[in-house]
Every structure is written in C-alpha cells, then in structure tokens.
Structure 1
Amino acid sequence: MAVPVAYDITRLATRVLNVTPNGIDRIDFAFARHFLGSAQQDCSAIMMTLLGPRAIPVEGARDIVDGIAVHWGEDEKPDQDESYRRIAGWIRGGGAKLVGAQRVARGRSGRAAGVFRWIGQHGFPFGRSPAAALPKGARYLNASQFPLWIPRYFRWLNQRPDVKAVFFIHDLLPIETPEYFRKAEYERHLRRLENLARFGAGAIVTTRVVKDALDRHLRTLGRTNMPILVAPIPVAPIFHRRGEADATLADHPYFVACGTIEPRKNHLMLLHVWRELVRRTGAGAPKLVLIGGRGWENENVVDLLERCGAIGNHVIEASGLSTPSLKRLLDGARALLMPSFAEGYGLPIAEALAAGAPVIASDIPVFQEIGGGGIVAVSPIDGEKWLETIQAFADPASPERLAALARAAKHKPASWKSYFASIGEFLECL
C-alpha cells in the first residue's frame, strides 16, 4: 500500500512571478500534478510561510498548481501565441533590418491577481504545523531544493522521526563549477547539502553523474548510507506527438537553443559562431531562435544581442513562449543546439529527442548519458566544429542530419507512469 506523501509546493507557488518555467519548474510542476492531482492517493501539501512550515488543504494546493499552468500558458496553442506568430514571421523573412537581434518577450499582466483570488478563496496558509498534521509514516517530498539552505524550516522533522524526508537534488554545479553562478550560490548550495545530510532520509537525482557527485559529497559530511534514486526525468506528453511542423517554415532553415541566458549555457560561443556564419554565407545563413529568459553575468552576450549588426536578421531572442509553441518550433528546426559547459541534466535534449528532432550538444558526460547515443556531440570550446556541424545540418537532406534524425527516432524516452512507479517504490522502501 502506498505511503502518505506530503508534497512541498513552496517554490511552485512563487513562480507566478515568472513568465515561463525553467527545467526545475517543469519537474516541480510534474511532481505536484502527480501527487496532488489524484484523489486516489493519500497526499497533502506543505508550504513554507513566515510562520514556518504549514500543512495546507490539498484543494488549495491543487488550485495553485492549476493556476500556475494557466499563468505559464502551458495549454496555449501556437496559433493563439502571439510570441510564436512573431517568431514564425521573422523566420519567414518578415521585418526590417535590425541593429541587433530581435527580441520577443511576452509579459504577464496582473501577476498578483491570481494570488489575491487564491487568498480570497482559501485564506492565508495559517494551517497546522506538519509535525502535528502529517499522518504516521508519511514521506515529506521536496523536488525543488527550496528553501533547503535554511535549516529552521526543516527542524520539525526532528519531532517526527517516523516522517522520512526525500529531496530532489538537481546537480552539484554551484559547488563543482562556481564560476558559472552568482557568488552567493556556492555557500547556499553547500548549506543545501548539509541540510540534506542532516534531515534527509533519501535523495532523487536524474543521472548517475549527479548521483556519484552527490554520494562523494555526502561522504565528506559523514553520510555514507543515504539511498539515492537515479531516475531520468520524462518529458511532457506533447513532445511525443509527431507530424506537427509548421509547413510555412519548411524552406527556411533555423536552429533552436533553449535555456536561460547565463554563462554556463555558452551562448557567447554560439553567437560568435552565428556572426561568422553570416560573414561566410551572407543573407542565406540559417537563423537562430534563442528561447529562454535573461539570467545573470551575461553582459557580453547581451551586448552582442543588442548591438551586433551582423546577426541582426539572423538571431531572435524569445522568452515567455508556451510549451506547445516550443514543440512546434522543434518540429521544424534543423536541430536543437545545446553547447553548455556543464549541466545537471538537460531537459531540452530529452524533449527534442522525444519529438524526433536532431540534437547537437556538448560532449559532456551528462549529455552522453541522457542522449543514449542519439546526439551529435561537439566540444563546447570547439567553435569551428560547431560552425561546420551547423552548416552541414542547415541542409535538411545532408547525410549528417539524416543520420541524426534516424538516431532521434530510435530514442525511447521514459514514461511518466513508470517514472512515478519507481518514485513510489523508492518512497515506500525507505
């Protein structure tokens, strides 16, 4: 029989402030939908408040999850998405020549309105402490790492040794590669792992690369026996659908890169490659669609995007795009590009392969593990090789691209049913 699960929705509730989800958001959302969306499961919700952690009614938690989906526009069709229409028109060649890259940034008006409606319907989360509210033998599950760096939010677990806490650890990159993150993130991530070692009964990761790194670090903290489940994250069902490409874009070669604009995603190299492509091939150079919001320490990238005339008609920057629109763009793209220096997983690769799209990605262990031989791997510091590979893929009938399409077609992504079955077994066995 399944054990009771208390799912933490704290971070998810704050994402009304974001116009579109990132990778952690998508995972957090999928967990919340699974554990809080079914009346068949014995589940409850936890939210961290100024009064400390509180167990809140599951009906209110479901409203939060549903409201976030609407806010992100997750069910918005491409034909209804103004951002998609603008991107498609640009790919087809519309618009005047620009000094820098065009930018499509869809905002959200009235972001706080949904919050006030929720408070009006459910009241402030003045629920009971989880130490008093959770049933015997429950599992506390946190898939967002938020706010794991603050120990006071988890001290209630000391009062309930029967409640086993499980945390999803997405990566150890702020510790392993601190140069790619805000300075404070190094110490914050150290505290996350210290609190995992202190309060956690188990951990979930997406790859063996992350498992090995986490296991090594936990040993330095005196935890040598923590169960760690390796479970590659599936993708949204929409990415499994085939044959939905935009026919009006078929004769216009373009590539897609998906991810927050931050140093480790290597956008700087990619933009230099595109400037060189335009220099060598002129107006016929393929186009690049950068999907993702602007992150941190990205001044050089922003300078290129905003002031480099050479890429003005060949690069577009888009944020706030709905998931169906992203899928439509992947369907017609020559390839997804993922030149990251370091990643904990790489959800866009899994999404592209599930959609049957070719993938050109960095030759790093995580991508080799999740790609299963389905990707074209190129060193993230070999700009000339990236340029040559992109040039080859710009021809839809090139041998290189046809081989990549065949490999993508053989990729067998995990299903959500089997994924959550393994999560459930892991929670029960603790």
Structure 2
Amino acid sequence: MPQLTSTSTDAARSTVIYDVTRIVTRALNAAPNGIDRVDFALARHFLARSAAERGALICTAIGPRLADPDSALETIEGVESLWREDGDAGEDEVYRAVVAALLSNGSARASMTRVRRSPNLSFLERNWQAMRRWAPYLGRPTGEAPRGAIYFNVTQFLVDRSWYLRWLTARPDVKPVFFVHDLLPIEAPEFFRAREAMLHPRRMSNVCRYGAGVVVGSQAVAGRLRQFAAECGRPELPICVARLPVSPVFSSRAEPPPALVGVNYFVVCGTIEPRKNLLTLLNVWRVLARDTAPPKLIIVGKRGWLSAAVIEMLERSAALRPHVIEAGGLSTPGLRCLLAGARALLMPSFAEGFGLPVAEALAAGTPVIASDIEAFREVGGDAIDYVDPLDGLGWLQAVRDYSTPQSPRRRAALARLSRGESDPNVFFAKIDDFIAQL
C-alpha cells in the first residue's frame, strides 16, 4: 500500500501499545476497506517509533497479551502484499477484468459482469502463512506494559467484550484511546444486522467507560459521540477530530488509462449494504438502459449484509446486465486508475461517518455526486454536487448531465475541485498532540 508516513520527532513520548488484533485477521480479505486503511496507516505510524515508545497488543487463546511490534509490522507488510497495494494497477487481475468489461459489447452479455480476485494457490499459501504466524502466539502478560503507556484501539474490534478490556481496570495508569468511526448502528439500526445494532452500544459504552480520550474523523461523529458520552455520564470525555488521511496515490497526477479515454462510466465505492443506497442507483440505471448509449456503472466493493434486494437486481435484471460491473477485491492502484477516467464518483449513501471514497476522489481530481448529508458536506464542502438520497429523478438527471464530458454541469464541478496535495502528517500530528496532552 502507498504508505502514509509521519515526520514527528518529539523527544519524550509515551509508549503507545497498538492493538493489532484486527490487522492480523485481514489476511482473510481480498482487499482493504476504509477502516483497514486508517488502521494500517496508524499501525505503521506507532509501530515504527523507537523501541521505548512502541508496543503491540493482540488477542490470543488466553486473552489480550503484549505482542512483538516487529512481528506486527511484518504482518502489515505481508497483508499489503497479498492485497497488491504496492504494485501497479496493470498487475491487478480485477482491474484488468473491469477494463475488459468496460470495453466489451455489453449488449451481448448473458449475465451481469462480476469480477473478483481469484483465490489462487499462491495467494492461499501466503494467506495461511500470515495467519499461522499468530495462531499459537501467547505473547507476554499485559501487566508488563510500561507505566503510563497509551493503549490505542483504532477499530473497536472486541471492544464490546468486557473480558477483553478487563486488564485496563488492573492497570489504571494505562490510558486507553479509541478511534470511533461512527455511531450509525445506534442511530440507524435498520441498516445493520440485529446483532451489530446490539453490540455497538456496548462498544460505545465501554469506550466512554474506559477511554482517556477518543479520536474521530469528523465533526459530525464528534457531535454524536459527545451526546452519547453525556448520556453515559462522561460529558467531559476528551475528543480529537482528525480528518482521515488520503493515500498519496490519490493525490498523485494521473491521466485516464488510454484504453478508457472516451468511455462513459461512473464509479460507486463501498461495501454493498443498505445504507449505501445502491437500489436507487440501480433503478436509475434501469431507466438509463433505455437510452441510445447509456453509461456503465462500476460497483467497487464486496457484498455485505442485508443486501439480498440489491443482489437480486444485479443477478436477475436483464436491463442492468450490459451496463453494470461488480468489482470485488479491487486494489487501491486499480481504483485510482478507474477514478482518473470516470465521469464522476457516485455516493448516494443515507448515512456515513466520514466518506473516505469522497475524499479520495476529490484528491484525485474526479467530480463527486453525493447525497446531501452532513458528513459529505464536511468532507467536500462546495466541491461536491449534492442530491437528496431519496431523489431518484435528481440522480437520473445528474448522471445524464455528467455523461457528456463537456456538459456545463460537469465543467462547473471540475472548476470547483481543489486538487491541493494531501498531507497525511497533519492527521498523525493531531493525534500525537492529543495523546501527549492526556
């Protein structure tokens, strides 16, 4: 993965014990999601510090234990290699298949194009090696953590389990810091599995109970967390707002792939799940399919929960088959290349905690049409073309307007874009300063 690095040189810093439990499990996935990108970036930042300032923690068969930071860094590099994050887009089989589908005669397709990374034997072997390294790991007792250390959990993985956090009660000198990405399973439980809607309040309650501080990616999440914390009796809970970093690959200059110049297509990015509102887009594309030369839609993301209605449309709609491409397991370089040639990124979500694909598209210089929701307005400001998530006709008109490269509406969106270089060190510095003040 193109690395997000820090240049911090503070002399006296607390030891940060970074929770790597979720990172180890990511070898089971074909590609990273937004939380993975934040987790891996912060893991590199903290695990690359000097020996006296870094530590790691992992859940083992006998509970949470201190782990070897060097082994954790090796695992990060191994998983990123599995994801082909450090390669060229042309080396990504999913990207190549998407390009082939974009250039094909869609009317001849008998079924919807669905491309995924093939689990070849080499991939499975390297995957197993990454997991096997940690399976028998027992580590060292948490009681050996340096006095006054910071425990940092970025993904809330296992934070709903009281036994996982019990060691913090025995070590009141250790200051727990959590990264809260959103409170959506509490605010909109209808978009999540019933179990998730039950577990997330537990996570947030434990965050408020144990947390010496919390980091969030947006003011929108900060406001909701302050209200929840007050209800839990922690109105004074320190909260740091640090806008999520964008990988440098997106802010680098890139021309559309030559093969895709002139191809009319749009990208939507995210796990296929209810709050992403993909049904609205698919119904828009059913109408567009009647046009003489309809655009194509690339869905970048894996199939998630409660998505049966979307999958039924993808697999059974004859109108959609020639025009929709489902791409699971696409690498970051592959996504960057597709954004370079896309008419726009579409994000019709009902709710988001931040919206990393929006920030990535804007950094890449790609126009964005997105739902008119608080999180997107915070990320994109005036650069985004906003449409109400329930306004199907509005989405239809926007796609039609953007389908012509030189349309006034698209040209106006490009003029509003700010393509300044993204500096990830601002993100790291805010968190370092926050931790230092706890």
Same fold (TM over 0.5): yes
- Pairing 1:26-425 to 2, within 5 Å after superposition: 26-39=37-50, 42-94=53-105, 97-110=108-121, 113-114=125-126, 117-118=129-130, 124-130=136-142, 132-279=143-290, 281-282=291-292, 284-408=293-417, 410-412=418-420, 414-425=422-433
Cα distance in 2 between the residues matched to 1:368 and 1:41: 41
Q: Is the 8 A contact 1:232 1:414 kept in 2?
A: no
Are residues 17 and 327 of structure 1, via their aligned partners in 2, closer, same or farther at CA, if it must alter by over 3 Å? same
Give the 3-state SS of the residue equivalent to 2:280 in structure 1.
helix
The root-mean-square deviation of aligned C-alpha atoms, in Å, is 1.7
Deviation per residue, 1:96-130 (Å, 9 max, x gap): 62244210011334566346535776783211122
Q: Is the 8 A contact 2:273 2:306 kept in 1?
A: yes
Are residues 401 and 294 of structure 1, via their aligned partners in 2, closer, same or farther at CA, if it must alter by over 3 Å? same
Give the 3-state SS of the residue equivalent to 1:204 in structure 2.
strand
Q: Answer with 4-13 or 243-252: which moved more.
A: 243-252
Structure-1 residue corresponding to 2:5: none
Q: Is the 8 A contact 1:234 1:413 kept in 2?
A: no
Q: Is the 8 A contact 2:106 2:321 kept in 1?
A: no
Q: What letter matches 2:216 in structure 1?
A: V
Q: Is the 8 A contact 1:75 1:322 kept in 2?
A: no
Give the 3-state SS of the residue equivalent to 2:306 in structure 1.
coil
Deviation per residue, 1:350-391 (Å, 9 max, x gap): 000000100000000110011121110000000101010111
Q: Is the 8 A contact 1:164 1:200 kept in 2?
A: yes
Q: Is the 8 A contact 1:36 1:43 kept in 2?
A: yes
Query: Taking every aligned residue pair, what percent have the same amino acid on both sides?
Result: 46
Cα distance in 1 between the residues matched to 2:127 and 2:219: 39
Cα distance in 2 between the residues matched to 1:4 and 1:135: 7
Q: Is the 8 A contact 1:97 1:312 kept in 2?
A: no
Cα distance in 2 between the residues matched to 1:25 and 1:231: 16
**How many residues in Structure 1 have an aligned counterpart in Structure 2?**
426
Cα distance in 2 between the residues matched to 1:413 and 1:178: 37
Cα distance in 1 between the residues matched to 2:48 and 2:386: 39
Cα distance in 2 between the residues matched to 1:41 and 1:140: 14
Q: Is the 8 A contact 2:344 2:367 kept in 1?
A: yes
Q: Is the 8 A contact 2:78 2:130 kept in 1?
A: no
Q: What letter matches 1:127 in structure 2?
A: G
Q: Answer with 412-421 or 383-392: which moved more.
A: 412-421
Q: Is the 8 A contact 1:98 1:309 kept in 2?
A: no
Give the 3-state SS of the residue equivalent to 1:309 in structure 2.
coil
Q: Is the 8 A contact 1:35 1:41 kept in 2?
A: no
Cα distance in 2 between the residues matched to 1:277 and 1:424: 49
Deviation per residue, 1:184-216 (Å, 9 max, x gap): 111100100111122111101011111010110
Q: Is the 8 A contact 2:25 2:131 kept in 1?
A: no
Structure-1 residue corresponding to 2:17: 6
Give the gaps of 5 or more residues in structure 1.
none
Q: What letter matches 1:421 in structure 2?
A: A
Cα distance in 1 between the residues matched to 2:431 and 2:406: 42
Give the gaps of 5 or more residues in structure 2.
1-11
Are residues 366 and 413 of structure 1, via their aligned partners in 2, closer, same or farther at CA, if it must alter by over 3 Å? farther
Cα distance in 2 between the residues matched to 1:41 and 1:405: 48
Q: What letter matches 1:427 in structure 2?
A: I
Deviation per residue, 1:248-307 (Å, 9 max, x gap): 21111100000011010011110000010112x13x111100000000111111111111
Displacement of 1:411 in angstroms is: 4.8
Q: What letter matches 2:177 in structure 1?
A: V
Whether 1:24 and 2:35 are equivalent positions in the alignment is yes
Cα distance in 2 between the residues matched to 1:206 and 1:234: 9
